[in-house]
Structure 1
Amino acid sequence: MLGQVLSASDRLFLRNFGLAAAFVYLAAAIFSVGYHHPDEHFQILEYVALKIGSADAGNMAWEYHYSMRSWLQPSLLYGLTRWLQWLGFEKPFQWAFAYRLVSGALSFTAIWIFVATCRQWFRSSWSWRFAVLLAFFFWCVPYLAVRTSSEAWSSAFLLLGISACIGFGKEKEVWGFLWAGLLWGLAFEFRFQSAVAVTGAVAYFLVIQKNPRVLYLLPGIVFALFLGLIVDRWGYGRWEVTAWNYFYQNLWVGKVSGFGVSPWWSYPKILAIKVGPPLSLLLIAGSVWAWLRLPRNVLTWMTVPFFVVHSAIGHKEARFLIPILIPVLMEIGLLADQKLTAPLGRLVRLTGGILFALNGILLVASLVKPADVKSDFYSHVSRKLGRPVVIFYKGTHPYGPVSRHKFFWFDGLSFVSIDGPSEFLRAVERDGHAYLFWRADILGPEYRPEGVECELEHATVPSWLYRFDFNGWLRRTPRYNLFLCRKAPLGAASGGLSNQARQKKL
């Protein structure tokens, strides 16, 4: 299929840049620990933890009790977890890394096939290559691609589905629609909102192409829905139509509005902030321009209804639009395929170079920064601390709310809530050392009296970053710090005052 679309030079380009993209996505999977949004944890990882036995149903998120989340993605990750356990990998952070690898590989494969299939729409090779670079390397794409989220998996299967529709050619078009039906049905099971994009694509094939073969989508869709029904029966222990429960609770009952509502026109503002100017302005303006200039393209028919429906819903988040990010980037690439006047061409090249450099900076930052400071802390506890281990804390539970984040718990991990230093210091005196979870870089002097020596075991903010603490922005960063306090050797002074002090000590 792809060999008929790509020339030899195109295949060489895609192979070389695809290899570079593979390393970038691997780096994202390694360093970008944690979740982009809590739903990624509570609606997927905690479901896996429930089946493994480290979580209990009574402490699951509210959506679980209304049976409104599909079990398909958690069931696949549960199977992967059991296989990893069979291989001897028993630590949750190892499982989470494997999940990111799988998500990244799935997203990478889907983007690869999608950009190769879309080559047939481009007149020039350079404009297609520009679109390939956008799809693979737009700064937030690798970061989002490795997330164990419903948005990432649904996006991948939407791309694979449209690739099947347009990539098989007229002779094998029936097979393309059959495969697309299955892939789009799975995309729906991963994230129910993808039905809007699929409906737009079906409308395109019926209205624009007047192609009756689009009905061959039905067997695959029905099979995927039936599979989802069976998996949900396994997950909840009873028959449930989770898609109906989801739409009923969120839209009819209005539970989603309890998380905040915004006017219908809010998405441009939300995207401008989340994606970051000026790249966000390019994305927004490019999307609108592409929709106006490419009204008969199937990607327009998929992305416009998706955007309009989400704009009509009161609760808005930038992540809701992730499934249409790659199609929109491809359409922006298609705009580059149009002829430009000489002055406009020079302007595009100049601004393009500046934006390319800015995109590179943001891309590197997104690769090395943990997606979530809590998960980075949990990973450290799982990897570095012995078993059994007791962690003292004051205030909010570090894995809180209490009994949440059970996925990262392990046998032998326990916590003790304290109101002051006395109980903690007794543990130091009794055991010779003790761990203290602290939400600030400076440990209060009452916890390090004479005869107690403390050092920073783990810090959310690395010491070198304090050189760039302009305007005190680091003070507004959430802290998940872990101090290890020991009985000081006879005659030694107490220590380990802060993150900065630890650097001096070392």
Structure 2
Amino acid sequence: MHFNTKNVFYISLIFHILAAIFSTGFQHFDEHFQIYEFLNFKLGNIPSSNLPWEFQQQIRPWFQVFVYFLIYKPLSLIGIESPFIFSFSFRLFTSLFGLFALTRLLPLIKEWVKGERYQNLTWALLNLSWFVPYIQVRTSSESFGISFFLWGMSTFLLAISNKKDLFKSGLLSGVLFGLSYLSRSPMAFMVASLWFWALFINRSSFKVLISSALSILAIIVLGIFFDYWGYGGWTFSTWNYFKANFIDDALSSFGVHPWWWYFRLSFNRGIPIVSLPLIATTLWGWWYLRRHPLTWISLSLFAFHSYVGHKELRFIYPVIILAPIFLGLFISTYRDKIEQLYKKKWIRGIWKFCIYVNFLFLIIATFRAANPSVDFYKFVWKSDIKVLNVHDENPFTMLGLPLDFYKKKDLIINEVKSYPAEGEHYLFFNKGKFVSEMEKHTRCELIYLTYPRWVLKFNIGNWISRSRVWSIYKCSNFF
């Protein structure tokens, strides 16, 4: 199959934009509470007491929030009030910035991979692996940090390779590395590993090494001012992060896993027929390409997070994003043998099947909401609901924290044990069993359901009653 770099870029662009439109919500609670609610606080909409413990411990850097603040302000000045337009703008910016960072890697791919055909294949793997647009559209510190690092890595390595503008390129790459670090502190392992690779393996010019180091330090100092802007006082969030998570061992309270846990997560959370080749070729690269900069940067971060007891797949997103390049390197290295194998019909069948599966899940990941609760919040925001009576669970609270960013300021959440008997009122339920009960009341109208209404007709085995289903009923004289 022939891949054209421009065509791949345009296809990737389409998927990145579509992901910004449809991949609503947040994958992990930190993506919301440590970004959106921090911004909400800075806008003066909520008190600091509504924020998670990371704010009280001052361990969250404010750089990324500041960037979104710069996007929010102009939009608000032209009259935009919808939090869903704001969140879409943040996703679109983050996604397109991530795609731009990928384009910075194309010159490196042309240096690392032999043969134009395999360069184009690697470029396609990097852009169109099913998880790439999904990761890059996430407004999380992981995604933000990856993009700055990839841009900085390209600037740094191309300057070393071309031996041109070493001092200037060193300064620029150092700024980008520093911003990657300000987005997410553990990115420092990738930055340091690349710097040491240049010093000990490549024996690069001191111009690029010293200039990059100086600008990294300058950005770290600048980060203190971002934190001052956010917290309202002088602090150093990196030290606070290290102290809280490693000295005080706060990370262990979120769960501890063995060192091999990431291999299991990568296989289980991925699509086995796609994730297994990526895992295998990454391990191959770490062993056979030990002097390659990709090995140094990815293995260092992976080793660090494997050592730390608490493990989440998002922590190794930088490694996952780079895995398709290892696959491209593997194919180009053994291209003669692979081309011989590809002549066999069953091998071509497996390859085509992998491509179809990848594109199927690329479409699913792009069009599927990261968190479907946002659809509920959008419905309530657009409705004329002023008081929402809830029983058993407040939908605008998660992990014991108020979720205020998507909540209308005049919306009253009325937590009740029993429901009003007279007048028009709105009832919220969080379990499917209540749907079956409420359908018997002729004076109550179902106006929101997690699933399409027609699904109720296929309640085989009464599965709806056992499911977590959010619903809103508009009732009059309930009893």
Alignment match of 1:340 (pick from 336, 340, 350): 336
Q: How much identity, in percent, do the aligned residues show?
A: 28
Task: Note closer, same or farther for the CA distance 1:470–1:210 as it changes in structure 2 (3 Å cut).
Answer: farther
Distance 1:257 1:177 in 2: 38
Letter in 1 for 2:262: Y
**Distance in 2 between residues matched to 1:468 and 1:178, nearest whole Å:** 62
Instruction: Please state if 1:329 is matched with 2:320.
Output: no
Specify the alignment match of 1:275 in structure 2: 270
Query: 1:178 aligns to what?
Result: 171
Change (3 A) 1:354 1:444: closer
Quick one: distance in 2 between partners of 1:451 and 1:366? 39
Residue 45 of structure 1 is matched in structure 2 by 36
Instruction: State the match for 1:285 in structure 2.
Output: 280
Give 1:280 deviation, angstroms.
2.0
Deviation at 1:58, TM superposition (A): 1.0
Unaligned ranges ≥5, structure 1: 1-9, 489-493, 495-506
Q: Which residue does the alignment assign to 2:408? A: 410
1:199-218 pair list within 5 angstroms: 199-211=192-204, 212=206, 213-218=208-213
- Judged with a 3 Å threshold, the aligned counterparts in structure 2 of structure 1 residues 38 and 124 are, in CA distance, closer, same or farther, namely same
- Match in the other structure for 1:91: 82
1:479 aligns with 2:479: no
- Counterpart CA distance in 1 for 2:428 and 2:405 is 19
Q: State the one-letter code of the partner of 2:201.
A: I
| SS of match in other structure, 2:397 | coil
Q: Is the 2:16–2:133 Cα contact (8 Å) retained in structure 1?
A: yes
* TM-aligned CA deviation for residue 265 of structure 1: 1.5
- For 1:391 and 1:397, the matched residues in 2 are separated by 10
Alignment: residue pair count:
469
Structure 2 distance, partners of 1:116, 1:49, is: 40
Corresponding residue number in structure 2 for 1:400: 397
Q: In the alignment, residue 376 of structure 2 is paired with which amino acid?
A: F
Structure 1 residue aligned with 2:68: 77
Conserved 8 A contact 1:54-1:409: no
Name the structure 2 match of 1:127.
118
Alignment correspondent of 1:25: 16
2:370 corresponds to which residue? 371
Distance change in 2, residues 1:128/1:414 (3 Å): same
| Contact 1:392-1:436 at 8 Å conserved across structures | yes
CA–CA distance in structure 1, aligned partners of residues 269 and 45 of structure 2: 34
* 2:103 corresponds to: 112
2:303 to 284, 289, 308: 308
Alpha-carbon distance change, 365 to 345 in structure 1, aligned in 2, over 3 angstroms: same
Whole-angstrom distance in 2 between the partners of 1:482 and 1:153: 36
- TM-score normalised according to structure 1 size: 0.87
Specify whether residues 172 and 473 from structure 1 end up closer, same or farther in structure 2 by C-alpha distance, changes over 3 A only: farther
Distance 2:119 2:441 in 1: 68
* Partner deviation per Cα, 1:434-480 (whole Å, 9 max, x = no partner): 2221113454677577661312x222223466799899887775423
- The answer as to whether partners of 2:444 and 2:473 remain within 8 angstroms in 1 is no
Shift, 1:18, TM fit: 1.1
In 2, Cα distance between the equivalents of 1:39 and 1:395? 24
Query: Which residue is 1:502 aligned to?
Result: none
Q: Residue type of the partner of 2:155? A: A
Alpha-carbon displacement from aligned partner over 1:287-310 (angstroms, at most 9, x marks no partner): 101222222211111001111111
2:187 to 187, 194, 205: 194
Moved more, 348-357 or 198-207: 348-357
8 Å CA contact retained: 1:158, 1:323: no
8 Å CA contact retained: 1:200, 1:301: yes
Q: Distance in 1 between matches of 2:120 and 2:6?
A: 12
Q: 1:229 to 1:289 in 2, by over 3 A?
A: same
3-state DSSP class of the match of 1:415?
Answer: strand
Residue 66 of structure 1 contacts residue 245 of structure 1 at CA under 8 Å; is this kept in 2? yes
* 2:429–2:470 CA contact under 8 A, matched in 1: yes
| Residues 448/333 of structure 1: CA separation in 2 closer, same or farther (3 Å cut) | closer
What amino acid is the match of 1:360? F
Q: 1:448 to 1:208 in 2, by over 3 A?
A: closer
Counterpart CA distance in 2 for 1:478 and 1:302 is: 42
Distance 1:405 1:70, change over 3 A: same
Q: Given the superposition, is the C-alpha separation of residues 90 and 435 from structure 1 closer, same or farther in structure 2, using an over 3 Å criterion?
A: same
Question: 1: distance between equivalents of 2:462 and 2:197?
Answer: 52
1:452 maps onto 2:443 in alignment: yes
Q: List per-residue Cα deviations over 1:296-334 (Å, max 9, x = no partner).
A: 211111001111111010001111001222222212211
Show CA shifts across 1:31-83 (max 9, x none): 11100100001111110010112221112101110000001111111221111
- When structure 1 is superposed on structure 2, of 479-488 and 390-399 the one drifting more is 479-488
Distance (Å, rounded) in 2 between the aligned partners of 1:356 and 1:472: 37
Normalization by structure 2: what TM-score?
Answer: 0.92
Among 161, 165, 181, the alignment partner of 2:152 is 161
Distance in 2 (alpha carbons) for counterparts of 1:217 and 1:47: 31
Cα distance, 1:249 vs structure 2: 0.6
Q: CA deviation at 1:364?
A: 1.2
Q: Secondary structure at the match of 1:222?
A: helix
SS in structure 2 of the partner of residue 247 of structure 1 = helix
DSSP 3-state at the match of 1:391: strand
Contact 1:155/1:324, CA 8 A, preserved across alignment = no
